[in-house]
Amino acid sequence: MMGARSNFLFPTPYHFHLPVKLLYHVEEKEGCQLKDDHHAKIQYTLFERKIDYHYQLQKIATKHELVVTRDEVITATTAFGLHQVLDVSYKPFSSEAGILYLHTNQGVFPFHIHSNPSTFIETFRLFK
């Protein structure tokens, strides 16, 4: 029955607490460029947490653009066809920030934004 037990239930000499120091780092990345003028875009921030070699927690924020065109919605990592996107919604959580939700047939994708998304949402609904 040794295989049924997990190692994390038993203390080992490797179980110790380290102070975690939070570092905040922002990287700028290039946005999307389109050839035609029939699109709307909004900037969003992607947050990533990493623990480095010295056991310091780094919170890395990268800025990207979310673009809607007549045919698709383009993120930094994925492009969804308009037939795949069911809806776009927005939930503000402070006076200057909120989360834009992209509802697709593959799931709901949140995007942290710091500007008013009404033009983006209206353009999406016009193209849809």
The residue-averaged pLDDT of 39-61 equals 89
Q: C-alpha distances in angstroms, 31 versus 6, 42, 101, 127?
A: 46, 10, 20, 22
At residue 68 the predicted structure's pLDDT band, cuts being 50, 70 and 90, is very high
Q: Tell whether the model's pLDDT for residue 16 goes beyond 90.
A: no
SS3 53: coil
The residue ranges of every structural domain in the chain are: 18-28+36-127
At residue 18 the predicted structure's pLDDT band, cuts being 50, 70 and 90, is very low
Contact by Cβ (8 Å): 66, 100: yes
As assigned by CATH, the class of the 18-28+36-127 domain is mainly beta
**Locus of tokens 């402070």:** 94
Question: Residue 24: its pLDDT value, please?
Answer: 36
Tokens of 69: 């065109």
The residue-averaged pLDDT of 50-75 equals 91
Q: What is the dihedral of CA 54, 55, 56, 61, to 10 degrees?
A: 100
Question: Residue 8: its pLDDT value, please?
Answer: 37
This prediction has a pTM of 0.67
Spell out where the chain has E strands: 21-28, 39-51, 56-69, 72-74, 79-81, 85-92, 98-104, 107-113
The residue-averaged pLDDT of 13-21 equals 39
At residue 37 the predicted structure's pLDDT band, cuts being 50, 70 and 90, is low
More confident residue, 37 or 33: 37
The DSSP H or E segment spanning 100 is strand 98-104
pLDDT in tens, 95-117: 789 999 999 999 999 999 999 99
Task: Tell me how crowded residue 14 is: count the other CB atoms within 10 A of its CB.
Answer: 6
Q: Tell whether the model's pLDDT for residue 3 goes beyond 70.
A: no
Question: Residue 100: its pLDDT value, please?
Answer: 96
Contact by Cβ (8 Å): 73, 124: yes
